[in-house]
Structure 1
Amino acid sequence: MADALSKLLDERDWLLADGATGTNLFNMGLSSGDAPEFWNVDHPDRIAALYDGAVKAGSDLFLTNTFGGNASRLKLHDAQSRVHELNKAGAEIGRNIADKADHPVIVAGSVGPTGEIMAPMGSLTHEIAVEMFHEQAEGLKAGGADVLWLETISAIEEFVAAAEAFKRADMPWCGTMSFDTAGRTMMGITSKDFAKKAAKIDHAPIAIGANCGTGASDLLRTIQGFTDAKPPYPLIAKGNAGIPKYHDGHIHYDGTPELMADYAVLARDSGARIIGGCCGTTPHHLQLMRKALESRPSGPRPSHDDITSALGGFSSESDGTDGGGPTRAARRGRRRA
């Protein structure tokens, strides 16, 4: 049988994903440096409110509060023995919210990077990475996640290890990388590189794409890099709500709900099928994104000038797919504060 996400993609031209996890949890009182995953057990009502906020704003899919739920990340909080417990709890809360929704909603089990460097550049072996991802995947599966959602990855090696782990867990999955250095990941991968390598991975993903990174403009240029590479998968766009700025002891994102509504439409017209927000994106942003996607007709692929005029300039001259290096670009266009 087809998985729930694939069924929904077969029925719809686009799906609205959720917004930020960290931003919204900080607004609920999470302290910097604390493990958000502990709240799945200690404050399940707040995690339910996080998920419910996305659903009521119109999301067709939301990610669980388990981004840092692998043993390597939880070890920083002396909680490496709680991987299964915390992931299962995060997914169970999500399953309960999704099952009560008035429209079909996908529970996507968030799986973030290990935080370690893969061999041969680092000490994390393929085998250990697979074990860590598999342990987390089994917890999310036990909690009722529909799909696993690998996100903010920088290295292809880690992506491959996660795919093997998800195969062991017999779970469908999606995967996004974060392109934050002139259209490249921290490990130098471009959207073109990623699309080619993802097509060769055993236990293929349902969809691939980009999340986080710098601003929404850069992310859309990356999505267009994906479409040029013609990957055999639907594309995911999950961009930050503008650019982060430090103000009064806190990080704020300058992307307004109106800007993110424009971003959502430009993402759809650039080729993305699953569209959401990342850092800084609140339910209010999602409401306007949903409204824009439903009310504005599809159009031709936007030019780079169309993107920068609506969302602000790119952070670099090249997205890496042309072989260009990380040369910073002059800011163009307008940005709504």
Structure 2
Amino acid sequence: MVESLSQALAQRVLVADGAMGTLLYSQYGISHDFESLNLTNGGDILKIHQAYIAAGADIIQTNTYAANAIKLSRYGLADKLHAINEAAVSLAHTAKVASTRPVYILGTIGGIAGSTDIQDPQLLTAEAITKSTVQQAEILVQTGLLDGILLETYYDLAELKAAIQGVQAITQLPIIANVTMYEPGVLQDGTSLATALAELAALKVAVVGTNCHLGPYQMNLALKNTQLPATTPVAIYPNAGLPNMEAGRLIYDGSPNYFESYGEIFRQKGVRLIGGCCGTTPAHIASLVKGLKNRTPVVPTKIAPKITPKVAVEQEIQGTHRFLEAVQTQKVALVELDPPKTLKTAKFFEGAAALAAAKVGAITISDGSLATTRISNVALAAQLKLAYGVTPLVHLTTRDHNLIGLQSEIMGLASLGIDDVLVITGDPAKVGDLPGATSVYDLHATELISYFKQYNQGISPTGRQLGRHCHFVVGAAYNPNGRTLENAAKAITRKVAAGADFIITQPIFDPQIAKDLAAILAENQITVPVFVGVLPLLSNRNARFLHHEVPGIRLSAAVLERMAAAEENGTERAEGLAIAEELVDVICQYFNGVHITTPMQHVEISKALATYIQAKNKVQIS
């Protein structure tokens, strides 16, 4: 009788296979939707399974890492969900039965949370992710050909725990649960690897471990200070190392021989299952097998608690967030200024100084509005703070920065003591003055809000300790034009749940929108301050341009008619301001906050409207 996977793990150290996706990428020139190859290139997948078995792997995993409904939808393959997963299991089983020694098959399911190539945030809610994971697990399990389930590359510990519980509800197959570290020994939320493994072991899975992102050296470094669970086997799946970029392709060129010593190193640490992740090949697995002196399990060494010496902490810089305090009791006007398109900055700073003198709640500085090239808003914010004593509210888009750049921007803002931020997605690059530019969108705006909140805990999104806590107050943008009330509630609730401290809306031109928005916020018990957008119109031409050509802005028919009539009467500027004041009157009945977008650098108009708003208070903002 062939022993089960659990029995085998109890008796000896097992070796798993290595990468599938990066192997297909490097050897076959395939760069995406690897899972669809189960249907179109099954022979290639079978050869890879056979190569790993020939290299000495005791365990192979199905080519199903991203074969869930959410990720398959990126390529229009959601309708192939069952077929792709079933074919993957069949191919692995074919390789297994052809082997002359025992081989075990794991049905692979990859982490989903934080996927940067999925644009619909509704697909990335915790509920949607767990549902998709369980759905995939059911398909894999129903084949009846698996020896276990592998949950791998989970950066989010909460997601992995939910996945474990969901899979346990449908099967008794052994589960291998692997978290992924950004930094050796720590997860992205600052949780130590030891704590994560202990929490996973408490869920009664068969194996707990870690895979991906780090090579064997850093994996070993992480284990040095990690107390491994005493009664639950541990798995390690390191990458081949760091990749190089050659001719636009990622190349892993780490020597397979380098892996030879690490098989025994990991066994001596108490690891029971050793495999490979990104960049590893059958040659790497053969080296692991060769390097193992024997397969006898080693009891994990007891690690003494680490005593962290006290380190001098840099003095924390904390803003007062005056506008957010004032809006609790008064009508507050925020005024947005666009950075100049040229290096002539005098008018910008003169306007900012005038608004500061008028005691507006805050000056907000846009970040490449309409995807147009402008001076860095962070540079201008620093000058306002240092030279004028004005601490502005800075916009930050997900359009222009990748994950590395966004984190650099966040740390730069913290070092400057600029703590008031509005997170926005940003208009697509193709609508701007450089249509050949690329929109990045590594993160959704909602995800970026949560990043800021993590920095407030003194932890970077990679889990690195920052040396001090940050004090960001983060706003979220919302466009109420053309949205249903149901969508409004969902969008704002999602952003508040991520940590948004306030909301700034796109400009509105219909007072009914303000009334409807107030009603839906009250109905859903959303209590964060909301600054409703107002954009004073300069002319009929300006009104028509905004209505027809600017994304996210729509004018009511009544406003368009009034501006057309004002053009004939030569009173466009006055009519535009009157319309803005009428909107403010309604907004202030339901909200304490107004966000004024300065029209084409006409600061005098924004200042006049801000003064109009302040006049509604018995005591002006101080």
Distance, in Å, in 2 between the alignment partners of 1:178 and 1:268 is: 20
1:51-62 matches, within 5 Å, as 51-62=49-60
SS in 1 for 2:231: coil
Shift of 1:277: 1.2
Cross-structure match for 1:261: 260
Cross-structure match for 2:221: 221
Distance 1:87 1:299, change over 3 A: closer
Q: Deviations 1:222-244 (Å, cap 9, x if unpaired)?
A: 23444x15353101011011221
SS in 1 for 2:291: helix
Distance 1:5 1:181, change over 3 A: same
Cross-structure match for 1:287: 286
Cross-structure match for 2:449: none
Distance, in Å, in 2 between the alignment partners of 1:299 and 1:15 is: 13
Distance, in Å, in 1 between the alignment partners of 2:198 and 2:297 is: 27
1:150-299 matches, within 5 Å, as 150-170=151-171, 171-201=173-203, 204-226=204-226, 228-294=227-293
Cross-structure match for 2:107: 109
Shift of 1:194: 0.5
Q: Deviations 1:291-329 (Å, cap 9, x if unpaired)?
A: 111469999999xxxxxxxxxxxxxxxxx9xx97279xx
Structure 2, gaps ≥5 residues long: 116-120, 302-459, 468-622
Distance, in Å, in 2 between the alignment partners of 1:326 and 1:20 is: 33
SS in 2 for 1:272: coil
Conserved in 2, the CA contact under 8 Å of 1:237 and 1:272?
yes
Shift of 1:200: 3.1
1:7 pairs with 2:7: yes
Shift of 1:259: 0.7
Shift of 1:37: 0.5
Distance, in Å, in 2 between the alignment partners of 1:255 and 1:134 is: 36
Distance, in Å, in 2 between the alignment partners of 1:298 and 1:10 is: 8
Shift of 1:61: 0.3
Cross-structure match for 2:92: 94
Cross-structure match for 2:34: 36
Q: Deviations 1:121-151 (Å, cap 9, x if unpaired)?
A: x754443333211111122123322111000
Conserved in 2, the CA contact under 8 Å of 1:241 and 1:278?
yes
1:71 pairs with 2:73: no
One-letter code aligned to 1:277? G
Q: Of residues 458, 465, 480 in structure 2, which corresponds to 1:325?
A: 465
Shift of 1:20: 1.0
SS in 1 for 2:28: coil
Q: Deviations 1:156-189 (Å, cap 9, x if unpaired)?
A: 2211221122123213211101112343233333
Distance, in Å, in 2 between the alignment partners of 1:191 and 1:67 is: 23
Distance 1:79 1:254, change over 3 A: same
SS in 1 for 2:272: strand
Shift of 1:254: 3.7
Distance, in Å, in 2 between the alignment partners of 1:166 and 1:3 is: 23
Distance, in Å, in 2 between the alignment partners of 1:189 and 1:100 is: 43
SS in 2 for 1:277: coil
Distance, in Å, in 2 between the alignment partners of 1:229 and 1:15 is: 17
Distance, in Å, in 2 between the alignment partners of 1:221 and 1:286 is: 20
Q: Deviations 1:258-293 (Å, cap 9, x if unpaired)?
A: 111112111111111101111111111211211111
Distance, in Å, in 2 between the alignment partners of 1:174 and 1:196 is: 14
Distance, in Å, in 2 between the alignment partners of 1:140 and 1:174 is: 15
Query: Scaled by the length of structure 2, what TM-score is found?
Result: 0.45
Conserved in 2, the CA contact under 8 Å of 1:209 and 1:235?
yes
Indicate the larger mover: 76-85 or 153-162: 76-85
Structure 1, gaps ≥5 residues long: 303-319, 328-337
**Relative contact order: is structure 1 or structure 2 higher (C-alpha 8 Å, sep ≥ 6)?**
1
Distance, in Å, in 2 between the alignment partners of 1:99 and 1:9 is: 20
Conserved in 1, the CA contact under 8 Å of 2:269 and 2:298?
no
Distance 1:125 1:248, change over 3 A: closer
1:307-318 matches, within 5 Å, as none
Distance 1:247 1:96, change over 3 A: same
One-letter code aligned to 1:198? L
Shift of 1:115: 3.9
Distance, in Å, in 2 between the alignment partners of 1:220 and 1:78 is: 40
One-letter code aligned to 2:153? T
One-letter code aligned to 2:93? R
Distance, in Å, in 2 between the alignment partners of 1:298 and 1:60 is: 15
Conserved in 1, the CA contact under 8 Å of 2:230 and 2:299?
no
Shift of 1:213: 1.9
Q: Deviations 1:70-120 (Å, cap 9, x if unpaired)?
A: 111111111223222211111111011112211111101111012448xxx
Distance, in Å, in 1 between the alignment partners of 2:79 and 2:466 is: 41
Cross-structure match for 1:133: 133
Distance, in Å, in 2 between the alignment partners of 1:71 and 1:231 is: 37
Conserved in 2, the CA contact under 8 Å of 1:41 and 1:86?
yes
